[in-house]
Amino acid sequence: MDDLLRISAMEWEERMPSVPPGYMEACTYLRELVPGGVPYLRSQYEYSCRGDGLLKRLKFDPSLAALRLWSFLFSEKDRLFFAKEKGWKIFAAMKDLGPVPVLSYAVPDSLTFYADELWWAPCFAEESHLLDEAAKLGAGEELCFVRAALGAMKTLDYFPPPDLCIAGVGACCDDFSAVMQLIESLGYRTHWWEMAVKLEQSSPVMSEKFLKTSFGNSRYQESALKFVAGQLKGVVRSLEEVSGHKITEEMLVRSRDRMNAIRIRVSMLRDLVYGADRPPLPGLEMLLAEFIAIHACSEIDESINVLNDLIYTVQKRLAAGESPLGTTPLRVFWATPPTDAALITLLEDLGGCIAGTEYMISHSFYPVSTEMPVLDAVAENCMDDPMTGSVAFRARRIIESAKRYRAEGVIISGISGASHCPFDETGVTKHVQRELDIPVLSFDVPYSPGRISEQIRTRMEAFMDILRERRSA
């Protein structure tokens, strides 16, 4: 048995002097831009003092690899500003959550971030100025927290003005479609591309040819793939115009391979952690690691180092039978990322662990096929996107993963105002209960800076009691 425990931001701060200087020096980003790179390793406490107050309420894995992960994610805005200052191009990908960066990282001297990810900012910062700014522009509480991206485009305190916004629309949520339109109306150069709906192979659709994706095994209609590949060609043209670089297939292949290196690692990490009886890494660290897959957290090379470090730590713990969680934690599959990250800490405090996730980015865990031209392969990857499919499609993915990772229950945390959540929660719950016969808890997460909603706390406590009773029975 081990003595690994999750620790607080303050405890990490106290441990910082004991971080080996060599490790500190290895943690740098943008080494292509600055000899030796920019050092970034800081404690979660320090990031909390810089404005992300929620960090003070979370519990973290005590490994150096986890410290590196947190620092890497929270330093993203620093490298975006730094790169912009040095003349690099900054691209804001929006909505597709994974495919576009495979193309945009083919552009030399550029970084890509996802504006969508700003949805977490008001919750981590525990203050609402981004939401307030968005409201002034028309995006109020009727939209999900993704409206914070609009606020951030106005204030520019999380990223510099992007040189190009690449907006995926069509088969997407209404919220972000509306937000992206308002972002364009602020004067940002925006390239719109159409995300195709993935149809169910149902009885009325008889004359479409249906295929399966190479890795996600998702069924899709062939016509959609061809259309999306054409749309992505338009994205590449737009990137060429803005950057002044001709993007060749060789450049795309290199970018694809680098992004695949990340996707393969994230996928491996998920299997190692969620597949273990005692997950060797807590849910919060896994949540952060999973999100690296969509855009490399604005730095591909260091992303790979961060993930290698995590995998090494996880493998070591698995070999030693170590885990920062309890001896027999209750296994919970989590669907849709919780707006309030403290809910994952709460789940673990209540004796649970995360055993699989579907944070609506699961298409980014599949490698982009190397067996076809890059644009076709990225288009194929779009067909794995749960946003573009039906509720039944998403439910199937949740069911498959929940089975694979032996989940005892499923939590679906909805997002207030999101257009898909009212359908997802009822639909997914119905499918999961029918197929798996395990309890499902669903709720919308309200904005409650500084504390967890009492109602949600109570419901999660009751849910964990149910899981405990079922296990003991």
Partner 1 sequence: MSRIKQLCELKLSEETDFLKKQRAEGVKTLGYFCSFFPPAFAAGFDLRPVRLLCNTSSDSESAGEKIVRADVCPHVKSILGNVNEGNGLHAEIDIWAGLYTCDQMRRGMNCLSEDLGQEVHPVQVPATRTPESAEYYASQMKRFASDIEARHDLRFCDEHALKWLHEERKASAVLSRAAFSGEVSPADLHAMFQLFFIARPYGLAEFFEEALASSDKFRSEKRIVLTGSPLTYEDSALLEELEKLGIGVVPLNCTGLNAVEYGPLDIDTDDLISSLALSAFHMPACIRSRPNRDVYERIGLTIKETHASGLVVKCLKFCDQWYTERERMKQAFDLPVLVFDSDYASGGRERILSRLDAFMEML
Binding site for partner 1 (CB under 8 A): 136-140, 142-143, 167, 169-175, 177-182, 184-185, 190, 192-194, 196-197, 199-200, 202-208, 223, 227, 230-231, 234, 390-392, 419-420, 422-423, 425-427
Q: Are 310 and 65 in contact (CB under 8 A)?
A: yes
| Shorter beta-carbon distance to partner 1: residue 175 or 309 | 175
| Shorter beta-carbon distance to partner 1: residue 182 or 269 | 182
Q: Are 162 and 91 in contact (CB under 8 A)?
A: yes
Question: Using CA atoms, how far apart are residues 463 and 473, in angstroms rounded to an integer?
Answer: 15
| Residue 117, token pair as written in the block | 């990810």
Closest approach, Cβ 181 to partner 1, in A, equals 6
If one counts every other C-beta atom within 10 angstroms of the C-beta of residue 2, the result is 11
| Shorter beta-carbon distance to partner 1: residue 315 or 419 | 419
Closest approach, Cβ 157 to partner 1, in A, equals 21
Half-sphere exposure of 231 (CA within 13 A, CB side): 24
| Residue 265, token pair as written in the block | 């690692």
Q: How many residues does the chain have?
A: 473
Closest approach, Cβ 326 to partner 1, in A, equals 35
| Shorter beta-carbon distance to partner 1: residue 54 or 182 | 182
| Shorter beta-carbon distance to partner 1: residue 41 or 172 | 172
Closest approach, Cβ 231 to partner 1, in A, equals 7
Closest approach, Cβ 207 to partner 1, in A, equals 4
- Mark out the alpha helices in 275-356 (DSSP H runs): 283-295, 300-320, 342-349
| Shorter beta-carbon distance to partner 1: residue 231 or 357 | 231
Q: What is the DSSP letter of 145?
A: G
| Shorter beta-carbon distance to partner 1: residue 172 or 287 | 172
Question: Using CA atoms, how far apart are residues 379 and 369, in angstroms rounded to an integer?
Answer: 10
CA distances 195 to 91, 170, 307, Å, are 18, 5, 29
Closest approach, Cβ 407 to partner 1, in A, equals 24
Question: Using CA atoms, how far apart are residues 358 and 346, in angstroms rounded to an integer?
Answer: 19
Closest approach, Cβ 380 to partner 1, in A, equals 17
Closest approach, Cβ 111 to partner 1, in A, equals 25
| Shorter beta-carbon distance to partner 1: residue 8 or 177 | 177
Nearest to 412 by CA among 330, 334, 331: 334
| Shorter beta-carbon distance to partner 1: residue 188 or 215 | 188
Question: Helix axis angle, 300-320 relative to 249-274, nearest 10°?
Answer: 20
Closest approach, Cβ 218 to partner 1, in A, equals 16
Nearest to 338 by CA among 118, 79, 120, 46: 120
Question: Helix axis angle, 64-74 relative to 283-295, nearest 10°?
Answer: 50
Angle CA(436)–CA(203)–CA(212) in degrees, nearest 5? Answer: 65
Closest approach, Cβ 455 to partner 1, in A, equals 17
Amino acid at 411: I
- What are the residues facing 90 on neighbouring strands? 111
| Shorter beta-carbon distance to partner 1: residue 272 or 428 | 428
Question: Using CA atoms, how far apart are residues 209 and 231, in angstroms rounded to an integer?
Answer: 20
Q: Are 145 and 122 in contact (CB under 8 A)?
A: yes
